[in-house]
Chain A
């Protein structure tokens, strides 16, 4: 149990007596970092949460955005890092299950999944390969069984995740605004547990996730069962339609203990449950085990006495086990009984609100050293370097991953994985664009600028489809928060995200914090993940095939910012330097101008310029369209920079636009009028990717050769052993 001495004392003071062992276990589950956000809560307030489209109602586990015409979109993000590091298949799969239930508990149908995966160096470490393969298989199996498309995400490999895995899953829901669950309860309402059987699996999981992973506590394994999850989804949606649900909560970390205390606290009621009424997988579970078990695929529902027969009938129809385990009281207490024996009696607001911690933060010592610009000699043969960059597992095609996912089921997916952002068709003729991004390499060198960069990148990706960003979700993943240096990186990242969100008026509609991500080699690099949702009123930009003589434009300035770049780390093995920073004014201006060009139908294809830099982004366009491009470096907006830096700098706020000759003048006039920095840098033609400086050829790579490397390198790494 992970209650601290001072927490035990606090509890005793609050309830006026010593808590009994069962009560202590219930409180320990709820007061774990995972469930209580005790280290982060007081800082998370800085994020802007309000916006024109945001619907915030009590007790909703996911963010809700109004997309017009009586429809809403719900969104949430969670990680399942600790369980996935122990059992990648089950951990990743149950991660998908958990997030789906968060979407469901708002009363909306889950329509899409995105995942963001991070592992150690798969080129060298067979264990990382094992984690990677099985986590992907877990997500694919679970999502595919549910008939929910996995439409996008990202995969990254970095030494800092040695023998560890970051598995972040985001889910999107869609529904009618008037069908949202209102979450209220009155004296005498019934408390119903729906779904899988409760067993000994995952006991202490949330505390386990709030501790550093150690060999001996690797016991919290959760087994996925997507088929029962699918039945739960259908049963709940039918119960919603028949008005059988007054309030609803997904059972996640901390199990029933958490679900009950949080529900009672949010709704300002008391809840009494009898553990004897819970449908169990095995006998001999203690009341404390029953209350804190993290058995998967379970939901808590509060319903009116008059509706219980109907609810039971619906559950029977779908074959979902369901038991009435208790009822709502006025007293604002949580009472646990085993038949007639009172086992625990605690005030809900005490259990649900752990004492918050004001952790110390101090600037990490490594930063000063690392932010010095390293001396790097420009390589002679940049063609060779580009080819190597294209085979870098972090930059190479992720087809091997997303080809395992069903990304089309539900027939909403208009722009599929492999593009900047995925786009879904909504029922009101609008479209929703989505992307999640992270960049631990940048965040390690500069936690604040790195985090802003992830945010901007996700925005850029969404903008490339013609969507206006309407909301964001964040998932902040760090090492042990008790270390002031780590806590400093958390605070700085959060500051960055909140500054940028305020500047662009993009509300934060959901998020999660995950601490204690530590490996045998120490803490992970700061890894905030940002998801951005964009709304398209008319039609998305579906990239058209690039034709001969089409022109390539770059919007935004290329700067001497290679700290944390793939070029420094993958090619030169150097960690450090100046990390790209976002100029808020240019960021907003470029975004707006690109959106205008796209909305006016002046752009045939667009691509965000990010990891790997300009050379990689241009190559990707060429490879996907099987056409060459000749780029004149002199036309790229930048201050005098070495050639390798121009090619591989990861400066933000840059977009590549492909336009036809006919539209060129209109686009240039529009960008000039907006005072946007841009350059017409190339023409598509032939079968080679070339970069010239005046007449001198700097890079000359055949598209075919680049394509082979880019397309096959990840698959080759995975299939060889």
Chain B
């Protein structure tokens, strides 16, 4: 069975504040006058390596696992998945 790498990116939902991103923007980036930057959002990424029949199945399996094990809180955070064949 082929292997895939699935990146799970967990970040706070839009509209929910993100103190880490805001602090980096306000206290670092803007202080050094990089005025062109308007927004920074922090996120956490988990990299799964998984055996699956295809790309979509790999992604589905990982998402189910993240939901079942409450790896993120779906009420606070959103996840985006990126899948690569290995």
Contact = CB atoms under 8 A, between A and B. Distances in A.
Asked if A and B bind, the verdict is yes
A221 B75 contact: yes
B15 A201 contact: yes
B19 A295 contact: no
B73 interface: yes
A343 interface: no
A221 B27 CA distance: 25
A295 B19 CA distance: 11
Contacts of A196: 17
A225 B19 contact: yes
A199 B70 contact: no
A76 interface: no
Contact of B75 (A87, A197, A201): A87
Interface in A660-709: none
Interface of B: 12, 15-19, 22-23, 27, 70, 73, 75-76
A201 B23 contact: no
Nearest to A321: B26
A197 B75 CA distance: 22
Interface residues of A, number: 22
A223 B75 contact: no
Given A86-B75, A90-B76, A218-B75, A223 B27 contact: no
Given A130-B70, A227-B23, A199 B17 contact: yes
25 contacts: A87-B76, A89-B73, A90-B76, A196-B17, A197-B17, A197-B22, A199-B15, A199-B17, A200-B15, A200-B16, A221-B16, A223-B12, A223-B16, A223-B17, A223-B18, A223-B76, A224-B19, A225-B17, A225-B19, A227-B19, A228-B19, A281-B22, A282-B15, A295-B17, A319-B27
Contacts of A224: 19
A218 B17 CA distance: 16
Contacts of B75: 86-87, 218-219, 221
B14 to A, nearest CB: 9
Interface of A: 86-87, 89-90, 130, 196-197, 199-201, 218-219, 221, 223-225, 227-228, 281-282, 295, 319
Contacts of A90: 76
Interface centre among B23, B70, B73 (most CB of A within 10 A): B73
Contacts of B73: 87, 89
Interface centre among B12, B17, B18, B76 (most CB of A within 10 A): B17
B11 to A, nearest CB: 12
B17 A201 contact: yes
Contacts of B76: 87, 90, 221, 223
Contacts of A86: 75
A130 B19 CA distance: 23
Contacts of B27: 319
A497 to B, nearest CB: 35
A632 B27 CA distance: 67
B66 to A, nearest CB: 14
A199 B12 CA distance: 14
A36 B22 CA distance: 33
A144 B7 CA distance: 32
Contacts of B17: 196-197, 199, 201, 223, 225, 281, 295
Nearest to A721: B69
A130 B69 CA distance: 10
Of all A-B residue pairs in the complex, the 5 with the closest CB atoms, nearest first, are: A225-B19, A223-B17, A200-B15, A87-B76, A201-B17
A219 B14 CA distance: 12
Contacts of A281: 17, 22
Nearest to B27: A319
